[in-house]
Chain A
């Protein structure tokens, strides 16, 4: 009886391939590809402006490389101010952004609200707080509040900061329109805004691509490609990969994902969002051996994240995984519903809808998902070719 648990544990260990550390054969063997090194932080810490500058670089890198270690580094740089109830406005703004990326939405919103409520927040930081807050509210599906924020940005409150801020406000309003089913007018507005030199062009390209995809227009692909060129982000790469996957262009999708990194043999450098698309492309394209390798790595990452208590941050990926990589109707529904409680973007609605359609789905969960989806569709007015035609 005593041996059983240890046998089980051993089995688990060997399944995860962890029972075998090894000694490399030669000193020349390459073990790890390292990110470009940031300046070392002196023991006594940095002054606020330097710390802020480095933290912003780290945050930007987190977005481009998909490595959350950069977020931890940004937090470490801001350590002297991080736990203050009311840190300097620039720190507070960055803290809100970091909290948001860690999916601590309420805490992020609290910081942003405080920044906007305080008269001592400089106007430029206030504008950024407004914009970050609008994005967060939009992500959470709180559109009326997001709309008021965007309206303020597009109006006269921030006119002193120049046309760029108003432009951001107008793009943000057009995006909200596009989410609420006003597809044609939103597309026209975005196309018009794209012509202004001060306009945030990469963002507009991405929004136009996503809207074109929801409208079922083939021009989405060219727009995605332009957006990726303008700003090579993981989000855009994953979105373009999804477009290709939806058109059964498996090999192209896999190549696009792998182009993210120089060493194409190793999967462990790929961020989750891209590894997920790769697993789908390989599986559907019949490359079973590599597909199961990618799937096993994803599974291991999900488990590691759950172990450290970050499980919910992966709900979107886990839902997709259970839909397209290792089909499991129950898990797909569970994760899609859990994700829906956190995030309400078109991609999340699409996942919810797909999970609810699964024939093998547990009935009460499927009904719950369908009801949530129908309510959202009714209230939002969102139109999406991926599901409009079918339902």
Chain B
């Protein structure tokens, strides 16, 4: 009884003594154009606990004792660190033989360094790690992973030995320029965003008088109108893009996509049966909010890290704006030239809007009911 009591007394003043480095292993993975180099540093003390490396049991571990067991050490490391790697073409990358064992000195002792290469046919892209090194002998152990993609962007992760699979993406390391291009690209291929804008811009070069359209005579009010619409759209989708990118709001994508289709439909119908002529920017703002969530899902597909999101987010948005500006400028030039043609109100505005409305209706049905009506 007294001994047991003494034990907890030992803890009375144990506070300061406990702050010391706990057991960590270090994983350093660096991807390049043809594969990945893997380096795992494991503390010799941890290895000895598991494998009893100190053959002569003199409390000292020699290089000879360690070297003789290199195969078992590698086996232990491979069991503790499940890793699959595929390249950009979806091919499996193959681990090569273990390089000769080496030693690293760290602040809390010496570590065995295990190194090998993974050979891929294309740049390494998808990595899945499941970590359970020392799970049975020290649950407080952690793997500190430093991961570098082919373009040099490094990230650090701490892995608990819980065996959970963590999927990590290495490929397509994103330079800011590439994110900018992705944003512009998304506008270009995102037909729904373009058609929404076009439906809003088609009537901009006309003026409604009674039940008729007549061509606008002065450029200035037209440009102001376009500026209002485009600014409202930009402002609105920037807000929701940021909210979604930082995971403050993330509405279900099926609803977002359906609402985007509905927004195109409404914008086109408003041209056919005008209800809202002045202040179309309000409509644009409301629907722009929805489009922002749509952009966010495209941004998410790039698999950016949340910690380093601000720069890419800005660039992506800038890319979206540039792509949008190009569409608007080209289109406005065209319709400004066409506005005096007698057929413009009926065939361009009316016919165009009708086509857009029909397409939007199909999208809406597809997205709401999860159908596939049009081929891709």
A interface vs B, CB < 8 Å? 1-3, 5-6, 9, 17-18, 20-24, 26-37, 40-41, 56, 59-60, 62-63, 66-69, 71-73, 75-76, 79, 82, 93, 97, 100-103, 124, 127-128, 131-132, 135, 139, 161-162, 164-165, 168, 198, 200, 203, 206, 233-236, 238, 268-269, 271-273, 297-298, 300-301, 304-305, 307-310, 313-314, 316-317, 343, 345, 347
Question: In chain B between 33 and 54, which residues have their CB closer than 8 angstroms to a CB of chain A?
Answer: 39, 41, 44-46, 48-49, 52, 54
A30-B62, A32-B45, A268-B109 in contact; A72/B141 too (CB < 8 A)? Answer: yes
Question: In chain B between 334 and 365, which residues have their CB closer than 8 angstroms to a CB of chain A?
Answer: none
A269 to B106, CA, bound (A): 11
> 0/1 per residue, B79-107, Cβ < 8 Å to A?
00000000000000000000011111111
A31-B63, A124-B1, A268-B108 in contact; A308/B103 too (CB < 8 A)? Answer: no
A63 touches B44 (CB 8 A): no
A69 to B134, CA, bound (A): 11
A307 touches B18 (CB 8 A): no
**A-chain residues with CB within 8 Å of residue B106 when the two chains form the complex:** 18, 268, 300, 304
A34 touches B62 (CB 8 A): no
A100 to B17, CA, bound (A): 12
Min Cβ gap B101→A in Å is 8
- How many residue pairs at the A-B interface have CB separations less than 8 Å? 250
A101 touches B154 (CB 8 A): no
**B-chain residues with CB within 8 Å of residue A37 when the two chains form the complex:** 48-49, 52, 54, 57
> 0/1 per residue, B104-133, Cβ < 8 Å to A?
111111100101000000000000000000
B20 touches A1 (CB 8 A): no
Min Cβ gap A213→B in Å is 14
B11 touches A100 (CB 8 A): yes
Task: Kindly list the 6 A-B residue pairs having the minimum CB-CB distance in the complex, ordered from nearest.
Answer: A27-B64, A72-B138, A72-B140, A21-B102, A234-B17, A6-B152
A27 touches B67 (CB 8 A): yes
**A-chain residues with CB within 8 Å of residue B374 when the two chains form the complex:** none
Closest chain B residue, CB of each to CB of A347: B16
Closest chain A residue, CB of each to CB of B3: A56
A300 to B21, CA, bound (A): 10
Min Cβ gap B27→A in Å is 12
Min Cβ gap A255→B in Å is 20
New A-B pairs, 17, CB < 8 Å, besides A56-B7, A72-B140, A101-B15: A6-B148, A9-B154, A21-B102, A21-B113, A27-B67, A35-B45, A41-B136, A68-B20, A72-B22, A75-B138, A135-B13, A165-B5, A203-B9, A203-B13, A238-B16, A304-B24, A308-B22
B138 touches A73 (CB 8 A): yes
Describe A's contact surface by its main secondary structure.
helix
**A-chain residues with CB within 8 Å of residue B140 when the two chains form the complex:** 68, 71-72, 75, 102
7 CB-based A-B contacts, threshold 8 Å: A21-B41, A63-B11, A79-B136, A268-B105, A268-B106, A300-B106, A309-B158
B110 touches A31 (CB 8 A): yes
* Residue B10 CB within 8 A of the other chain: yes
A322 to B360, CA, bound (A): 64
> 0/1 per residue, B53-83, Cβ < 8 Å to A?
0100101111110110000000000000000
**B-chain residues with CB within 8 Å of residue A60 when the two chains form the complex:** 7, 10
**A-chain residues with CB within 8 Å of residue B107 when the two chains form the complex:** 268, 297-298, 300-301, 304
* Residue B8 CB within 8 A of the other chain: yes
A200 to B148, CA, bound (A): 55
A235 touches B13 (CB 8 A): yes
Min Cβ gap A366→B in Å is 25
* Residue B372 CB within 8 A of the other chain: no
A26 to B67, CA, bound (A): 11
Could you say which of B10, B15, B48 contacts A32, with CB atoms under 8 Å apart? B48
A32 to B53, CA, bound (A): 11
A127 touches B5 (CB 8 A): yes
* Residue B305 CB within 8 A of the other chain: no
A32-B44, A132-B8 in contact; A5/B153 too (CB < 8 A)? Answer: yes
A124 touches B61 (CB 8 A): no
B20 touches A2 (CB 8 A): no
* Residue B253 CB within 8 A of the other chain: no
Closest chain A residue, CB of each to CB of B173: A2
**B-chain residues with CB within 8 Å of residue A309 when the two chains form the complex:** 158
**A-chain residues with CB within 8 Å of residue B9 when the two chains form the complex:** 131, 168, 200, 203
A308 touches B144 (CB 8 A): yes
A41-B137, A200-B9 in contact; A29/B15 too (CB < 8 A)? Answer: no
> 0/1 per residue, B225-253, Cβ < 8 Å to A?
00000000000000000000000000000
B11 touches A33 (CB 8 A): no
* Residue B219 CB within 8 A of the other chain: no
B5 touches A234 (CB 8 A): no
A135 to B5, CA, bound (A): 13
A298 to B21, CA, bound (A): 10
B12 touches A32 (CB 8 A): no
**A-chain residues with CB within 8 Å of residue B52 when the two chains form the complex:** 37, 40
A307 touches B45 (CB 8 A): no
A314 to B15, CA, bound (A): 11
* Residue B217 CB within 8 A of the other chain: no
Min Cβ gap B174→A in Å is 11
* Residue B142 CB within 8 A of the other chain: yes
* Residue B14 CB within 8 A of the other chain: yes
B61 touches A9 (CB 8 A): no
Closest chain B residue, CB of each to CB of A269: B109
Closest chain A residue, CB of each to CB of B99: A21
A6 to B148, CA, bound (A): 9
Min Cβ gap B137→A in Å is 5
Min Cβ gap B24→A in Å is 6
A71-B140, A308-B142 in contact; A27/B8 too (CB < 8 A)? Answer: no
Question: In chain B between 140 and 157, which residues have their CB closer than 8 angstroms to a CB of chain A?
Answer: 140-142, 144, 148, 151-154, 156
Could you say which of A76, A310, A343 contacts B136, with CB atoms under 8 Å apart? A76
Min Cβ gap B335→A in Å is 40
Could you say which of A66, A168, A307 contacts B156, with CB atoms under 8 Å apart? A307
* Residue B23 CB within 8 A of the other chain: yes
